[in-house]
Structure formats: C-alpha cells, structure tokens
C-alpha cells in the first residue's frame, strides 16, 4: 500500500481548502499557529553564549505535536506549508525539529495562493527549509525579547509595574510623540485670500471663480509664507484698489494631463486604503484578508477556494499568468483603448524582500458583484483588492486641464498689477478610473500646505483671450496655517513603511500595541499621545537614544535582511544590536532612582491630611491609573488627591448632584477612563455617576450623552442608559435637526480639506459649524 504524504499548515481553515485540491494521497494537518516560543517566565536568551535562545513547546500544543508526529511516522514525504514568510519559515523549522527522524523526506512548500493552480505550482517547487530565513526570524524574536525584558523592568523602577517597552513599539511611540511636540510648538500664521466671481458682461456666459494669485511680480503663497496677503488691512486695501476695475483674459492654456494607475496593493498600502475608504482598522483589514487568502466557499463546483494571494507582502510584483489574465479581462470587458501596449511593471521600494507577489485576486474572472454572499466586510475588501489589481493593468486616465489668467484694469491708475487664476479639469478618457475610483487617500502624514491656488473650478467653454469680464463679486477670506495633523492608524503605518521600520507581518500589531499599552488614545480616528505615553517616550528617547531611534531601528531591519540573504551571521547582527543597547541600559539603570525622583514634581498644593501641621506639599506621582497627587511625607502620610482637580464650574455643577446610594454630596474625580462623579463619603460609600456632556441622548431622550473609552483606548460617545439604550457615535453629537432628512441630531467633524463642520450621520448632509454648538470635550474627561 502506497504511503500517503503529509502536508502541515498553520490554519485549520487553510488545511480544509488544501486537502480538497491535493486529494486522497495526502493528509493535511494544522498546527494552529506557532508550536514553540520563548517562555514568558524569564528572558530565555543566553547572551553570553552567542545569544542562544531557549525555545519551548507552547503549553497546550503537546497534543497537536504528538498527533503530527504519529501521522509523520507513517507518512512518505512531509511537506511543511506554513505561511510563506520568515515567521512561517521559523515555524517550519520548529516542526521539522519536533518530527525529527529522517529530514531528507521533509520539504518546504510556499502557497502564495490557495487555488488548484497555486497549490500544484507550490508542490512542484518544494525545497528544503532555508536556515538563513529561520535565523533572520530568530534574530528578530531575540532582539525583541532582550529589549522588552531588559527595558520593561527599568520602566517599572521609574514609573510603576506593568509598563512595557519594545524595539519597534517604542520607536512608533516616539514618532507619535514627536508629532505632538510639533503640534504644540506650532505658531499659526495669518494670511488672506481674495477670490472673484466672474462672468462676461452680457450675462449669457456661465459664472466661474478665480483666485488672486499674483501682485506685480510676486506669485502669492497660500501657506502663510512670504509673499502673501498677511493682514486684514492689506486685504482691504487690495479690494479697495480692485473696486470698479474692469477685467480681461490675458491667457488661456489647455494641456493634456495623464494620470497613471496605482500599483497593486502591498500590505501597508492595503491597510492605509482600507482605513481611508472602508473605515477598517489595520487589525481588522488583516483579519479579513487572512480569511480571503485561506479559503471561502465559492460556487458549488469550486467549494472552498482562496480568493486572494498571500496578504503579507512588500512587493508590487505580479506573475505573468496573472497579468495576462488581467489584460485579457480588460480587453474583453472594456476594449482595446483601455489596454496599454505592454504589461505594466511597478517599481518596488528600497529593501523590498520581494518574496511574494502583490496582493491580488487569485482569479480576475471572479467578479466582486458575484461575491455578495461573502458578507458586507469581506465583500468590501475583496472588491477593493480586485478593482485595484485590474486598474493597475489599465491605461492612463487623460484630462484636459484649462487655466485662465485674468488681469485687472484699473480706472484709478493703480501702479499695481493684479492677476487672477482659474484652473479647471475635464475628464477626456477615463482609463483606469473606469474601474478604480480616484479618491484622495489619507494624507495626514503630510503638513497642511493649503494648496488653495490649485483648486479646480468649472470653467466656461466659450472664453477667449482678450474677452472682457465683469466681477460679480470680490471677497476676502482670512486663513491661518495649521499644524501638522496627528497620525491616524493608517498614516502611521505609511510612515513606518516609509522609514523602513517593521515588516508587513508586524504593522498592524505595532499600532495596536501602543494603543493597548495606554500610551496612545484614539480620538475620532486620530492618535493622541497620552501623558503617560509622552513621559515614557521622553525617558526612553533620552536614556536609550542609541536604540530607541528611527535610524537605528531601520538599520536593524536592513541587517536582518542581510542574515536572510546570507551576507551576515546571526551572531554578527546580534552584536551590532546589543553593544549600543547594553551601554545605554547600564547607564540608565545606574541612575534609575534619580530618574524616578525627577518624575515626581512638587506642587504648591498643601496636603489635605497633614499640611496644616507640617506644611507638607503634594507631589505628582505615577500609578497604574495615571498621575495623582501624593503627600511628600509618604509613607508617613498617605494623603492623596486626583491630579486634575475640578475647576470652579465643575464644582458648581456637582453641588446639585447627590449620591444614589447614600444621598451624600458628589464631587468630580478622575479615574483611568476620565472624570466622573464620586461620593464624598468614600470609602464608606462607593457611589459613582458618569460625567456627561450635558445633552440628552438623541435616541432614547432619557439618558445623557457621555464620552467613553473602549478597552483599547478609542474614544466614543454613548448613552448613560446603556445597555437599555445602545446609542453610539464616534463623533461628538450635537442636538440639531437635519433639515434634509429630519434626523434629530448631527455630529461634529473635521477634515484637512473642509475644516470643521456638522454632518448628519444618516443622510451625510453638511452644515456650517456654529462654535457655540460644540460640546466641550474636556468636561467628559
């Protein structure tokens, strides 16, 4: 009887899909992830013995391993098909070590896609386990373990037990905190713009808008830098000079502008785009992509099938078979005009591992509209991947861009020359836009430069040079330059990718970790460094400047690549990491007590317990619930106060609030989730009440709206009557009726492009934002 071959994968769902294609001569088993790891009880890295790690079987995996070993003994060839990346290679090595026996019959296969063709190609290209890739992954794991297990105890000594540091996590925190510093130090600059609404004197021509862009030889800048209109007085003077002017068109230029299709998705770009277009967190995007890769129920004939290629990749490369299939699809469905002459090849960024193709559908003929049964989120992500891939092989979009220059002719004999400019764009040929809508992606990693002079406006077709125009209106508008925006989860990933920090498999984890550690709060999708996060970052970046550094971390990523390609050894790279780290650690630990003392800031607040007798003052200290005020005589005196003492308005507001348990007065206190009402009879009475925004819930009309924080730091707004009322909003609700659909509340929103505004959460109608309507967030903690 012929021995069956054993195929070992990580995921049970992947095993089910693969087993269908391989047939009866194969047995497919799943490890359900890693089978070995460094135990958490201690560091488990022998630094003095060439950084030798001690990996152990993960508790609970013994039965899985015993089952695989038993099947392996009775099998012919053994194919280890864990994920096709370095982490998967390391898992494959662990499995091979556990199976032991004759390693000549153990092979490594890489399933870039879980389809019949993809599996056949992978099985025909089986190879031996690549020890260089394994060592590169082990080096990453050991670096992370050393820094985490050495620096975290240092933070416990200086702050409190439970804090953590990480090789990449702490650098990501530094990037976020550096942006907070930029925002705080930013000084807004005032500038003004002048815009005209023009038309031909006959009134038969359509109206169009143009912006003043040149005064004499000075081309105005719209970022507050010189030359610009810097004050109300200057803007008013210019408008006065332009009063009763005639206007003539001095130049009209029309040029053809071509826009290239975007490259197919890499992991980081998929996470960014899914965030900006679909509202998915990076973590959710990867969870959904994993399901699409491992196998979804297709047609009755297909059964389980992988819908996309492997979702952890930094490459834009696509196989010849896939591009040929895409080009045939484009030709058959859109025509020859939409098909470029040759296959489009995209250049990958520096240090790309290029181990896998870009993320694409496994079969371009599996149309999104036929996949509605996937469910809303899976379908939305598949639709996005499919459209991006098809568009990447389509022709350029072509626009006719028209620019009109208008000169003011002054009857007053002004010596100044004023030129207005209007720019409009008309789609001439849709090209890839036929498939992939061209929307502005998340640009919150870039400073706001206010490129208002390049705004597009519809321009009448009948305009000619030397045409006279009349100004229907001339208006001035005040602006202020804005600080660089805070990062979102997607723009932080974009920045990490740009800087060469982390890898496709780690991006989502990096972001979620700094949020989980309470170093960062997510407020209306923006990452806000908390006081704890900023203080921890200051300590780490000061005392571990050689390691918690963007350039050093990026350099380590490059060195891990050199292990993978055989140019360096594990020991060499680990020494390059550990030498500067150990020096920083030794120096920091020698002054840990001094650092802790420096974090305790003395205040002028008298201790409520012993201050009158001793004159003792309160000092700021750290605890698991954040900063608080403690008597400087601690532990002799245990006097303590919340750090954020209520202001006069809050004290006044609390006067009429009574405890529901004992009837006592309530005061405003601060906990880990913000401010709340606490009973003055504490600790005898534990009565508490939520501190609200002071507006009724728009859903039930009984409870009040308050700001809450999810476990992972994200802020949202809910009802005090929860769980009886399930009202929830990610933006601040404003009790104002929508005139379009009648919904009884709006939400306050803000974008880089549109500034602050109100929006109906139902019909998306927008309204100007009266400042008096904005609830004060700080009241909600």
Question: Catalytic residue numbers?
Answer: 310
Q: Count the alpha carbons within 13 Å of 362 in the hemisphere toward its beta carbon.
A: 24
Could you give the dihedral angle defined by the CA atoms of residues 129, 134, 136 and 138, in that order, rounded to the nearest 10 degrees?
180
d(CA 623, CA 634): 14
- Angle between the 169-185 and 550-564 helix axes, to the nearest 10 degrees? 150
SS3 191: strand
Strand partners, 265: 359
d(CA 143, CA 148): 8
Tokens of 537: 């970052």
Q: Which residues contact 630 (CB under 8 A, 6 or more apart)?
A: 618, 619, 621, 639, 640
Strand partners, 208: 198
- With CA atoms as reference, report the closest residue to 207 among 223, 220, 196: 196
Place of tokens 């903690």: 781
Tell me which H or E stretch contains 604: strand 601-606
Count the Cβ atoms, other than its own, within 10 Å of residue 140: 23
Place of tokens 């899976």: 378
d(CA 545, CA 537): 11
The pairing of strands 78-80 and 106-108 is parallel
- With CA atoms as reference, report the closest residue to 560 among 551, 550, 570, 575: 570
d(CA 88, CA 33): 9
Q: Which residues contact 519 (CB under 8 A, 6 or more apart)?
A: 173, 529, 530, 532, 533, 536, 537
Cβ burial of 736 (10 Å; 0-12, 13-18, 19+) is middle
SS3 761: coil
- With CA atoms as reference, report the closest residue to 19 among 295, 386, 242: 295
Kindly write down the DSSP assignment for every residue of 528-583, as one continuous string. EE-HHHHHHHHHHHHHSTTTS-HHHHHHHHHHHHHHHTTSS-HHHHHHHHHHHHHH
Could you give the dihedral angle defined by the CA atoms of residues 214, 219, 225 and 226, in that order, rounded to the nearest 10 degrees?
-80
């Amino acid at each position: 009887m012929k021995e069956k071959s054993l195929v070992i994968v990580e995921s049970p769902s992947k095993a089910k899909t693969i087993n269908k294609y391989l047939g009866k001569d194969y047995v497919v088993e799943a490890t359900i992830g890693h089978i070995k790891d460094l135990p958490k009880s201690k560091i488990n890295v022998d630094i003095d013995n060439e950084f030798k790690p001690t990996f152990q079987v993960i508790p609970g995996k013994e039965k899985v391993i015993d089952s695989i070993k038993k099947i392996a003994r009775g099998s012919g060839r053994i194919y280890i098909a864990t994920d096709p990346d370095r982490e998967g290679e390391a898992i494959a090595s662990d499995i091979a070590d556990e199976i032991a026996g004759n390693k000549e019959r153990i092979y490594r296969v890489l399933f870039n896609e879980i389809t019949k063709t993809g599996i056949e190609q992978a099985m025909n290209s089986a190879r031996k386990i690549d020890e260089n890739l394994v060592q590169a992954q082990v080096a990453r794991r050991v670096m992370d373990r050393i820094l985490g297990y050495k620096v975290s105890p240092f933070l416990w000594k200086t702050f409190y037990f439970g804090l953590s540091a990480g090789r990449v996590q702490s650098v990501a925190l530094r990037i976020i905190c550096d942006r907070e510093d930029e925002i705080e130090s930013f000084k807004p600059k005032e500038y003004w713009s002048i815009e005209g609404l023009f038309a031909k004197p006959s009134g038969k021509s359509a109206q169009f808008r143009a912006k003043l862009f040149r005064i004499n030889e000075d081309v105005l800048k719209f970022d507050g830098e010189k030359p610009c209109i810097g004050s109300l007085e200057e803007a008013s003077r210019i408008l006065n000079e332009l009063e009763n002017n005639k206007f003539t068109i001095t130049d009209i230029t029309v040029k053809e502008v071509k826009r290239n299709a975007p490259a197919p998705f890499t992991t980081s770009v998929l996470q960014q785009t899914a965030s900006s277009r679909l509202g998915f967190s990076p973590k959710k995007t990867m969870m959904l992509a994993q399901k699409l890769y491992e196998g979804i129920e297709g047609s009755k004939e297909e059964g389980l099938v992988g819908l996309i290629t492997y979702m952890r990749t930094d490459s834009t490369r696509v196989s010849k078979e896939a591009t040929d299939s895409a080009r045939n699809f484009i030709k058959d469905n859109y025509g020859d005009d939409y098909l470029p002459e040759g296959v489009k090849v995209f250049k990958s960024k520096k240090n790309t591992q290029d181990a896998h193709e870009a993320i694409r559908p496994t079969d371009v003929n599996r149309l999104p509209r036929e996949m509605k049964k996937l469910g809303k989120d899976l379908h939305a992500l598949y639709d996005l991947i499919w459209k991006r891939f098809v568009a990447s092989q389509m022709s350029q979009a072509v626009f006719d861009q028209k620019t009109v220059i208008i000169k003011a002719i002054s009857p007053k004999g002004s010596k100044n020359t004023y030129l207005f400019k209007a720019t409009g764009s008309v789609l001439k040929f849709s090209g890839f836009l036929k498939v992939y809508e061209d929307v502005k992606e998340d640009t919150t990693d870039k400073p706001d430069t206010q490129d208002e002079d390049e705004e597009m406006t519809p321009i009448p077709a009948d305009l000619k040079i030397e045409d006279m125009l009349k100004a229907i209106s001339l208006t001035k508008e005040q602006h202020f330059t804005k600080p660089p925006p805070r990062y979102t989860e997607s723009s932080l990933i974009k920045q990490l990718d740009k800087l060469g920090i982390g890898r496709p498999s780690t991006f989502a984890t990096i972001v979620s970790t700094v949020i989980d550690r309470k170093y960062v709060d997510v407020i209306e999708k923006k990452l806000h460094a908390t006081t704890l996060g900023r203080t921890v970052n200051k300590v780490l970046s000061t005392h571990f400047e050689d390691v918690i550094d963007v350039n050093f971390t990026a350099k380590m990523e490059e060195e891990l690549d050199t292990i993978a390609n055989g140019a360096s050894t594990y020991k060499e790279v680990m020494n390059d990491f550990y030498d500067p780290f150990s020096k920083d650690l030794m120096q920091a630990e020698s002054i840990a007590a001094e650092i802790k003392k420096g974090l305790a800031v003395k205040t002028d607040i008298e201790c409520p317990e012993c201050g009158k007798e001793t004159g003792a003052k309160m000092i700021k200290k750290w605890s698991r619930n954040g900063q608080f005020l403690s008597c400087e005589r601690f532990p002799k005196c245990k006097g303590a106060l919340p750090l954020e003492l209520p202001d006069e308005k809050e004290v006044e507001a609390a006067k009429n609030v009574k405890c529901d348990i004992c009837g006592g007065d309530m005061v405003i206190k601060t906990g880990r989730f913000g401010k709340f009402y606490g009973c003055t009879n504490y600790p005898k009475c534990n009565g508490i009440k939520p501190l609200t925004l002071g507006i009724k819930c728009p859903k039930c009309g009984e409870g009040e709206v308050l700001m809450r924080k999810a476990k992972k730091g994200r802020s949202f707004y809910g009802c005090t009557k929860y769980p009886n009322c399930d009202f929830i909003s990610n933006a601040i609700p404003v009790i104002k009726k929508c005139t379009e659909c009648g919904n009884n509340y709006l939400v306050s929103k803000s974008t880089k492009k549109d500034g602050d505004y109100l929006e109906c959460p139902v019909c998306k109608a927008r309204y100007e934002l009266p400042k008096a309507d904005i609830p004060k967030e700080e009241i909600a903690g």
